[in-house]
Amino acid sequence: MTKKPQKKTTHTIWGGRFAAQPDALMVEVNASIDFDKRLYHEDITASQAHAEMLGAQGIISKADAKAICKGLETIRAEITAGKFQFSKTLEDIHMNIESRLKELIGAAAGRLHTARSRNDQVATDLRLWVRGQCGEIDRALMALQDALLTQAAQHTKTLMPGMTHLQTAQPVSFAHHLMAYVEMFGRDRTRFTDARARMNESPLGAAALAGTPFPIDRDSTAKKLGFDAPMANSMDAVSARDFAMEYLAAAAITATHLSRLAEELILWSSERFGFIRLSDAFSTGSSIMPQKRNPDAAELVRAKPARITGALITLLGIVKALPMSYGKDLQEDKEPIFDASDHLNMALAVMEGMLRDMHVFPEIMAEALNAGYATATDLADWLVANLNLPFREAHHITGQVVALAESRGVRLDALTLTDLQSVHSALRADALDALNPATSLAARQSFGGTAPAQVKAAIASARKRFINKKGA
């Protein structure tokens, strides 16, 4: 009689179907523990909610549910203390925790996975983690806005060239320039808030893809985990990653805004501008040129959008054309999400530090207005308001005045009344006032304009809307 070959154990939680060990390469490519271990807190919290629900529903005994929750809390403490031994052969954070739970409480640990799958488990963990990151980034953006507002409050009358095409355009205040970023980062915050609201549904209980025959209470686990409701479709619950795409899209836009500000800090701190000086804490030197003072922190922030936008494109590529419902492809979603989050948080902290420490040189900013004929538009506006000329005619006359100043190598406000009248005889002495940068600044009283009174009101409004708002 021929003996049947003895079945070999694979020593894995899912190994009952298999007769041989996985190849070493399969273990390597299949394992995610090296990066998904950072989901341990979310995994344990979700597992405790699931165990409590199973006990309350009579699916497992309350004694087993209590033992599971207590064992999971012990594991949380071990991981937090750095005493937990992670194993690549156990693939991921879920199986590492479940294996340790069995060591701690015995057979009862095997009941934890009743009525759930790793599919809804990881979807829940990742939603919890990304949801938490939305809050973290919102707080970091608020701190950055506070740093901008603190600087702006000191410079409502500090004149500087406002630019278009990186050419001098019109006088603005340094505060007004900084306030543009306060508003920009405010919109970024709403993007994370909106994303958080849309992702706040629970996948837990969807199981592998089709739900479960056990009488589970998905509403109770959703409530315990702070979700608004359980997701309505079990297939969507395990496969959806649009919440992470939206989060990364908001992260990429925020990083792009940070990059714009970083570029301006780099320009302003250069010898050619000299508007600001970044502190030693956020500058570096050269290995060969002892005189160098490099804005490396700002340059690194300027580069971050490439990495963070790349994470978004990676996730879009992973999910593109992926059929319902779960595929192992989705294991690849976590590294780009984690990487983008780490670098965005770093960039936000660095930018806040640079802004709080930087030194501003108002006199150099004001001196820069001497080049570029920044008050030309003010003269055109004067011609319209006082001589009732069509703006296009006023624009042409002002262009001639600029050409005159340029030919003499002087500023507009250095021209005399005789000079102005040589271009247009109706120009009066009060037209000279329009050519003064401080007068130009004060005149822009329209809502959202650069007049000091408007900027002070904008700062007060921004503090109320973004910093001191209820619940912030």
Active site residue 286: yes
Radius of gyration of the chain (CA): 31
CA 420 from chain centre, in angstroms, equals 51
d(CA 52, CA 48): 6
Output phi, psi for 15, to 5 deg. Answer: -80, 5
Q: Which of 11, 165, 359, 446 is catalytic?
A: 165
Catalytic residue among 87, 270, 279, 286, which? 286
For residue 87, the tally of other CB atoms under 10 A from its CB is 12
Using the Cα atoms of residue 252, residue 255, residue 256 and residue 257 in order, give the sign of their dihedral.
positive
User: Side chain identity at 97, as an amino acid letter?
Assistant: I
**What does the CA dihedral 446, 447, 450, 452 come to, rounded to 10 degrees?**
100
Helix (H, G, I), strand (E, B) or coil at 430: helix
- What's the rounded Cα separation, in Å, for the pair 372 and 379? 14
The full DSSP string for 39-85 is GHHHHHHHHHHHHHHHHHTTSS-HHHHHHHHHHHHHHHHHHHTT---
Does the annotation count 177 as an active-site position?
Answer: no
Residue type present at position 117? S
**Tokens describing residue 291:** 């005189």
Q: How far apart (Å, rounded) are the C-alpha atoms in residues 69 and 77? A: 13
Q: Please answer whether residues 365 and 160 qualify as being in contact, where contact means their C-beta atoms are separated by less than 8 angstroms.
A: yes
Contact 351, 373 (CB under 8 A): no
Q: What SS3 class is residue 340? A: helix
Give the separation between CA 231 and CA 238, rounded to whole angstroms: 10
Question: Are 175 and 155 in contact, with CB atoms under 8 Å apart?
Answer: yes
Cβ–Cβ < 8 Å for 450, 162: yes
**What is the C-alpha separation between 284 and 296, in angstroms, rounded?**
6
Distance CA 185, CA 465 (A): 12
Give the residue numbers annotated as catalytic, written as ranges. Answer: 165, 286
